[in-house]
Amino acid sequence: MSKYALTVTCKSTRGIVAAIATYMVEHGCNITDSAQFDDMETGNFFMRVSFHSEEGVDLEKMREGFADTAEKFEMTYNFHDEAEKMKVVIMVSRFGHCLNDLLYRVRIGALPIEVVAVISNHMDYQKVVVNQDIPFHCIKVTKENKPQAEAAIMQVVEDTEADLIVLARYMQILSDEMCQKMSGKIINIHHSFLPSFKGANPYKQAFQRGVKLIGATSHYVTADLDEGPIIEQDIVRITHAQSANDYVSLGRDVESQVLARAIHAHAHHRVFLNGNKTVVFPASPGSYSSERMG
């Protein structure tokens, strides 16, 4: 039985949930999971509904038939087939822990994505990538060729019809133009617990300050460097006895986990942009299970 999801954003008012539930019933659908949020400050309403059709109504008919309800409440909405894997381009430089973690999770079916290409400004991970039958593109970036390099990157994105770009420790700053063109479609992992310790060597900065917690932040990329809407964060505890290198090693683990969770949320359409913040709904039951659990 096909599993679908409906995502809705609109101004908060009475009757939205009732209208959606009524529509589902009238079209022979059973709601299996639902989450909603009213932002009292902005007056915005967000909702995600998982459902399946008990009468075989296809997704296109569900989408077309919902237009009247959406118009009544001035909704921005979409229907998603949960069996469809999101196409993703991963970008990496010389730190490969996030890339390797993501490739493993994809291989065992723990992330509902298809990696359609890996782009790097170095050759370090070419063999790792091509050995998994994934196209690898080495696109060098310098101050002189940055516009041409980004054009080549965007060509790969367009050719592969990718829905998302993941910066898995890609150590190049994207242009404002590219950030705006791919707004809400680029996820970055920042190796610190924003907004503390930005820039180079954040773990060294943290070590020098004697912090007791370090962490990682995954966020959407905007033209404001490392200021995009935050999707996921986590931390790990540090003691006075650990070295700067310990910080780096512990940081690698938390970075990989945070980035994977952010991609999981995005790929399951659980993340809603809400100004400079996000609304992130909990995962639906069963969405963390994978094809190979061992």
Q: How far apart are CA 4 and CA 31, in angstroms?
A: 10
Per-residue pLDDT, averaged over 250-263, amounts to: 96
Q: Does the structural domain 3-81 have CATH classification 3.30.70.260?
A: yes
Per-residue pLDDT, averaged over 120-144, amounts to: 96
* 226 labelled catalytic: yes
Q: Where along the chain do its domains lie? A: 3-81, 86-280
Per-residue pLDDT, averaged over 117-145, amounts to: 97
| Proportion of the chain above pLDDT 90, given as a percent | 82
Q: Which candidate in 226, 234, 246, 253 is catalytic? A: 226
Looking at residue 183, what is its pLDDT? 92
Strand partners, 63: none
CATH of 86-280, one of 3.30.420.40, 3.30.470.10, 3.40.50.2300, 3.40.50.170: 3.40.50.170
What value does the mean pLDDT of the chain take? 93
191: pLDDT confidence band, cut at 50, 70 and 90? Answer: confident
Examine domains 3-81 and 86-280 and report if their fold is the same. no
260: pLDDT confidence band, cut at 50, 70 and 90? Answer: very high
Looking at residue 200, what is its pLDDT? 67
Which of 68-72, 149-153, 227-231, 279-283 bottoms out in mean pLDDT, i.e. has the lowest? 227-231
Q: Is it the case that residue 136 has pLDDT exceeding 80?
A: yes
Looking at residue 141, what is its pLDDT? 94
State residue 120 phi and psi, 5-degree precision. -145, 155
Total Cβ atoms within 10 A of residue 107: 14
Element (H, E) at 218: strand 213-220
Q: In 40-66, which positions are buried (b, 16+ CB within 10 angstroms) versus exposed (e)?
A: eeeebbbbbbbbebeeeeeeeebbeeb
> CA torsion 186→189→190→193, rounded to 10°?
120
Phi-psi region of 145 (alpha: psi -120 to 50; beta: other; left: phi over 0): alpha
